Structure 1
Amino acid sequence: MEFLDFKEALFKKAKEEGLEKYEIYYITKESLEVKSYEVQVEGYALSDSKGLCFRALIDGNMGYSYTEKLDIEAIDILIKGVKDSAKFIKNEDQEFIYGGGSKYETVKAENESLKNLSAEEQIKMVLELEEKTKNYAKEVEKVAECAMETTSGSVTIINSEGLNVSRKYNTAYSYVAPVVLDGTEMVDGFNIVVSNNVLDYDIDKMAKESVEDALIKRGAKPVKSGNYRILLSNEMMAVMLKIFQSAFNSDKVQKGLSLLKGKEGETIASEIVNIVDNPLMNNGPCSTPFDDEGVETKFKYLVKDGVFQTLLYNLKTANKAGVKTTGNASKTSFSSAVEVAATNLYLESGNLNFEELVSLVNDGLYITSLEGTHAGANAVTGDFSLAASGRVIRNGVLCEAVNQITVAGNFFDVLKDIEAIGNDFKFYHSNTASSSVIIKGLAVAGE
């Protein structure tokens, strides 16, 4: 059954069953992942999925049910599902079905260059990336991983209150991991690009940066323990934002799982720090004109000039706090309940290039890798102790490689201790991005 026909039949049945407020959340998703090894296609995974969530307000409780099949049999199952789940899911917080916004911004979330990229062209890009990486330097022993995944999809929300919105999006990422020989040991490098613009996938640049990342790690050893001035790479600052983004989540705050409760208007970071949630960013990986409740989205500062501005809210958490929603309702999948999440979350860039940052550090460490983020970081307290590697900075120059060290501190102290921000802005893996930053000092455990 076609989606619109299914929606009409489901809404008719819902009305006959006495449901008053109800909603459909429907997604389509298509992805293609290509992996190569020894300049041959090693993996080719094409997936095409659809899913529909039906929810309804019944006696003040929100009932959920979902299906991947749009047929007549699914309609009765969905109706029964929302009735049953509403009986068993009791929530003291008021739930909402949104009636629609007055204005939705135009957001570029679907890039034509990626939309027009054929499977053959994607395969060619991956094979070329591996080959150029392998041949970039004689020291390259092999390429351990090389892949590119492209994803396109749509989201449609229609409800009994008059809401009818839909959007399309696409995104992609590509990564390569060469291996070089360091004496008798292997050292790996890595480079990743996240963008829905095919022009951002510069094969020569990706090969060069991944191999050079491996080459500079040769001969790495720990430094002496102490407190070091730190240049944190753009990628690792993005990782820090990803780890601790839940601190800005209103649901976490209301559950006592964030230290930011009641701190709006307080200085929590250096005056040069601006942290943004920007769902209207052109070609951002999580750009959208509406959230997963259908609420219109907007650009917002979470931290402005070091001052904490706002948490992220959906309709339920905003009502509980007595404020307006920020348009940050989110569903991790079509079958999940509505939660709260950031969209494109990033630290605004400064105007210093990388060489200027290195010079400004003078003596310290350049950290390019952080490991153990799941076990070594506490998103509630902000404390972290993470295995790290990178390079020594001496007299304003990048020097020998460093590994087998641990950096420890607190995320909120890091925000206060940021002294300079670069202009090398980059998304890394998911929805967080940053430029490289200089941190006044972090405790380093080494020799």
Structure 2
Amino acid sequence: MNFLDFKNLLFEKAKIAGFNECEIYFSDGESISISVYEGEVEKYNLAKSFGLSFRGKINNKMGYSFTEILDEAAIDMLINSAKNSANLIENDDETFIYGGDKIYNEVKTYSKELENIDPSKMIYLALDLEKEAKNYCDKVVNINGCKISYSSSNYGIYNTKGLELTNKDNILTSYVVPVVEDESGKNDGVGYVVASSIDEVDTKKMAKQGVEEALSKLGGKSIASGTYNTIIYNEAMVQLLETFASTFSGDAAQKGLSLFKGKEGEIVASSLVTIVDDPLMEDGIASAPFDDEGVATYTKKIIYEGKLNTLLHNLKTAHKQGVKSTGNGFKASYASPVNVSESNLYLRAGEKSFEDLMKEINEGLIITDLAGLHSGANTVSGDFSLAAKGFYVKNGEKTFPVEQITVAGNYFDLLKNIIAIGNDLKFPLSNVGSPSVIAKGLSIAGK
């Protein structure tokens, strides 16, 4: 059965079964991932996937179901499963099938340069990337990972209110993790790229990035416990923003799981801090012209110069708060319910170079790596205590690598204690980005 016939018959039968509004969401995708090790292809995965979810309102409750097959038996299953799931719902939260917006912004999420990508060229690039990393210097003793991946999808929403939306996206990523060793020990680094064309995969550049990062960490030592002038490097700041991204969720706030609850309009951060959710970013990993409820997306400053403007909402949480959805109702997959989540979330860059930041602290610490974020960070209280690595700064310059330390603080206090922001905004294989920052009030535990 073709897709449109399936949709029309599903909506017709759902109406007969008692559903007064209903919607389908579909995702049709493919992916190729290639991992290499010791000059050979270790894993080659080629996958195609199709899935369709159905949701409908019956007796003022929303039922959900999903399928990977388009036939008449699947239609009956979807209707019966959705009806059963609606009967199990005990809360009175109002849910919505959305009629759509007048205008949907255009955003580049698909690169034609990646169409019909040649797997043999991907294999060549992965093998060459491993070779370049191994041959970069004689201190490279192993490669912990070397991979290139491509994925594309066509997805969309149709409902009985006349909404018909589709979009395509695709992405190519690659990374290498070289391990270096000398008499002081071992360390690794990462070289990576997010590309909109296979020609952007520069194996020499990625190998250099990964090996140089690993080499820079050799000879690390601990420092005395205390309070230091501290730069949080962009990639470490991304780790913190990613970990605490749920604090911007209207759903988390309404459940009492975010200290930003009820703080809209209040100063919650340094006046230097502007945090943006931008689903319209060109080639952003999480860019989309509409969310998974069919709401038009738009760029929003969650925090603007220290003031909390808005939390992120889907239709349900927006209705509860008496505001409009921010277009942040997204699914983890076609089979998942709609939740609230960020798109491309980032701390806006400042004007200072990284060298300027080092000169500003003169003597202190750069935090480059954080570990233990799942167990050492409490997203409700904001408290964190994390194993860290970095560099010591003296006279405004890096001197030696630092390891075996723990950094502790509070995320909400951290936002208030940022006193300088760099211009080195970075999205490290992530939909979350940040520049480097100078922050006060962090405690360092060392030797």
Instruction: Settle same-fold status: TM greater than 0.5.
Output: yes
Counterpart CA distance in 2 for 1:225 and 1:318 is 45
Report the CA distance between 1:198 and its aligned residue.
4.1
Flag the 1:334–1:204 CA change in 2: closer, same or farther, 3 A.
Answer: same
The runs of at least 4 aligned residues of structure 1 exceeding 6 Å deviation read none
Q: CA RMSD in A?
A: 1.4
Q: Indicate the residue corresponding to 1:258 in structure 2.
A: 258
Contact 1:239/1:428, CA 8 A, preserved across alignment: no
Counterpart CA distance in 2 for 1:293 and 1:398 is 49
Counterpart CA distance in 1 for 2:60 and 2:17 is 17
Flag the 1:117–1:358 CA change in 2: closer, same or farther, 3 A.
Answer: farther
Contact 1:287/1:343, CA 8 A, preserved across alignment: yes
Q: What's the CA shift string for 1:92-147, capped at 9, x where partnerless?
A: 11110001111101110112233353212222221121111111112111222111
Q: Indicate the residue corresponding to 2:154 in structure 1.
A: 154
Contact 1:189/1:210, CA 8 A, preserved across alignment: yes
Counterpart CA distance in 1 for 2:355 and 2:3 is 54
Q: Indicate the residue corresponding to 1:62 in structure 2.
A: 62
Report the CA distance between 1:193 and its aligned residue.
2.9
Q: Indicate the residue corresponding to 1:179 in structure 2.
A: 179
Mean CA deviation greater in 401-410 or 136-145: 136-145
Q: Indicate the residue corresponding to 2:274 in structure 1.
A: 274
Counterpart CA distance in 2 for 1:446 and 1:201 is 39
Q: Indicate the residue corresponding to 1:433 in structure 2.
A: 433
- Structure 2 unmatched ranges of 5 or more: none
Q: What's the CA shift string for 1:163-191, capped at 9, x where partnerless?
A: 10010111232221111112173222223
Report the CA distance between 1:386 and its aligned residue.
0.5
Flag the 1:376–1:197 CA change in 2: closer, same or farther, 3 A.
Answer: farther
Flag the 1:430–1:91 CA change in 2: closer, same or farther, 3 A.
Answer: farther
Contact 2:409/2:441, CA 8 A, preserved across alignment: no
Report the CA distance between 1:5 and its aligned residue.
2.1
Q: What's the CA shift string for 1:317-374, capped at 9, x where partnerless?
A: 0110011111110111111111110100011111222222222221111111100000
Tell me, what secondary structure is at the counterpart of 2:229? strand
Tell me, what secondary structure is at the counterpart of 1:427? coil
Q: What's the CA shift string for 1:11-68, capped at 9, x where partnerless?
A: 2211232321000010112111111111221111111111000000111110001001
Q: What's the CA shift string for 1:394-430, capped at 9, x where partnerless?
A: 1111111111100000111111121222222221233
Matched, 1:90 2:90: yes
Q: Residue 417 of structure 1 aligns to which amino acid in structure 2?
A: N
Report the CA distance between 1:155 and its aligned residue.
1.4
Report the CA distance between 1:195 and its aligned residue.
4.3
Contact 2:184/2:219, CA 8 A, preserved across alignment: no
Counterpart CA distance in 1 for 2:188 and 2:330 is 36
Matched, 1:230 2:230: yes
Report the CA distance between 1:200 and its aligned residue.
4.7
> How do residues 359-374 of structure 1 correspond to structure 2 at under 5 angstroms?
359-374=359-374
Q: Indicate the residue corresponding to 1:188 in structure 2.
A: 188
Tell me, what secondary structure is at the counterpart of 2:358? helix
Matched, 1:337 2:367: no
Report the CA distance between 1:81 and its aligned residue.
0.8
> How do residues 8-87 of structure 1 correspond to structure 2 at under 5 angstroms?
8-87=8-87
Counterpart CA distance in 2 for 1:334 and 1:408 is 38
Report the CA distance between 1:231 and its aligned residue.
1.4
Report the CA distance between 1:197 and its aligned residue.
4.7
With structure 2 as the length reference, what TM-score do the two structures score? Answer: 0.97
Counterpart CA distance in 2 for 1:25 and 1:422 is 41
Matched, 1:404 2:411: no
Counterpart CA distance in 2 for 1:163 and 1:355 is 51
Report the CA distance between 1:203 and its aligned residue.
2.2
Contact 1:195/1:284, CA 8 A, preserved across alignment: no
Corresponding residue pairs, total: 447
Tell me, what secondary structure is at the counterpart of 1:45? strand
Mean CA deviation greater in 320-329 or 2-11: 2-11
Q: Residue 223 of structure 1 aligns to which amino acid in structure 2?
A: I
Contact 1:221/1:404, CA 8 A, preserved across alignment: yes
Counterpart CA distance in 1 for 2:196 and 2:208 is 21
Mean CA deviation greater in 117-126 or 268-277: 117-126
With structure 1 as the length reference, what TM-score do the two structures score? Answer: 0.97
Q: Residue 361 of structure 1 aligns to which amino acid in structure 2?
A: I
Q: Residue 158 of structure 1 aligns to which amino acid in structure 2?
A: Y
Flag the 1:354–1:114 CA change in 2: closer, same or farther, 3 A.
Answer: farther
Counterpart CA distance in 1 for 2:230 and 2:194 is 25
Q: Indicate the residue corresponding to 1:136 in structure 2.
A: 136
Counterpart CA distance in 2 for 1:361 and 1:194 is 32
Tell me, what secondary structure is at the counterpart of 2:187? strand
Q: Residue 78 of structure 1 aligns to which amino acid in structure 2?
A: L
Mean CA deviation greater in 196-205 or 398-407: 196-205
Q: What's the CA shift string for 1:57-82, capped at 9, x where partnerless?
A: 11111000100111121010001011
Counterpart CA distance in 2 for 1:249 and 1:111 is 30
Contact 1:331/1:339, CA 8 A, preserved across alignment: yes
- Structure 1 unmatched ranges of 5 or more: none
Flag the 1:430–1:270 CA change in 2: closer, same or farther, 3 A.
Answer: same
Q: Residue 179 of structure 1 aligns to which amino acid in structure 2?
A: V
Q: Indicate the residue corresponding to 1:443 in structure 2.
A: 443
Mean CA deviation greater in 253-262 or 234-243: 234-243
Q: Residue 174 of structure 2 aligns to which amino acid in structure 1?
A: S
Contact 1:250/1:317, CA 8 A, preserved across alignment: yes
Contact 1:194/1:427, CA 8 A, preserved across alignment: no
Q: Residue 57 of structure 2 aligns to which amino acid in structure 1?
A: L
Q: Residue 213 of structure 2 aligns to which amino acid in structure 1?
A: D
Counterpart CA distance in 1 for 2:194 and 2:236 is 15
Q: Residue 164 of structure 2 aligns to which amino acid in structure 1?
A: N
Tell me, what secondary structure is at the counterpart of 2:217? coil
Tell me, what secondary structure is at the counterpart of 2:64? strand
Report the CA distance between 1:196 and its aligned residue.
3.7
Flag the 1:133–1:220 CA change in 2: closer, same or farther, 3 A.
Answer: same
